[in-house]
Amino acid sequence: KKIFDCPDELMELTMAVNTHALFYTTKAFVPAMLEANHGHVVTIASMAGKVGVSGLVDYCASKHGAMGFHESLAAELATLGKQGVKTTVVCPYYIDTGMFDGVQTKSPTLLPVLQPAYVVDCIMEAVLTDKELIAMPRFGYIVMFFGGFLPSNVLAFLSDCLGANNMMDRFTGRVKKD
């Protein structure tokens, strides 16, 4: 939803699920990993955690929070010297789970809606090979790289070319079943 159409309750729920929950799950599970000097923390962020998108202000803010959380957690774990506790941050594009029903991608070759099984396979490979960051599709690496240093007017132009600012126009979201 656009920011002025997003109820406060929805914004708070989005932040609670996508950002605040990371603190609670980390505090619950990582101490045992540290004690054993073995484990792997996987943070599910999003391409929206690196690039802002019109119509997703609450979601993008929550995923930017997830990215910041992950980067800080990885730094904190590194200072503890526990080399056996690994981290991976996952930055997928839209996943075909129903959550983003109606989303239209202008460039399906570069930015296809991802299938859940593909995302799971990529995450498993990342964990098994100790990759610190995965972007899906691979074009996401380019988006994140250029997003880090291009001027905002150039990023806005590229977003328009890729249709990023209109892809939520037909968004319906997951339909609740009674």
Which residues carry out catalysis? 59
Instruction: Return the ∠ at Cα 124 (arms to 148 and 85), rounded to 5°.
Output: 75
The single-letter code of the amino acid at 118 is Y
Neighbouring residues of 26: CB distance < 8 A, sequence distance ≥ 6? 41, 73
Task: Please give the backbone phi and psi of residue 132, each rounded to the nearest 5 degrees, phi first.
Answer: -85, -25
Ordered DSSP codes for 84-118: TEEEEEEEE--BSSSTTTT---S-TTTSPPBPHHH
Instruction: Return the ∠ at Cα 146 (arms to 122 and 69), rounded to 5°.
Output: 60
Tokens 């990215």 locate to 67
C-alpha to C-alpha distance for 97 and 115, rounded to whole angstroms: 8
C-alpha to C-alpha distance for 5 and 11, rounded to whole angstroms: 10
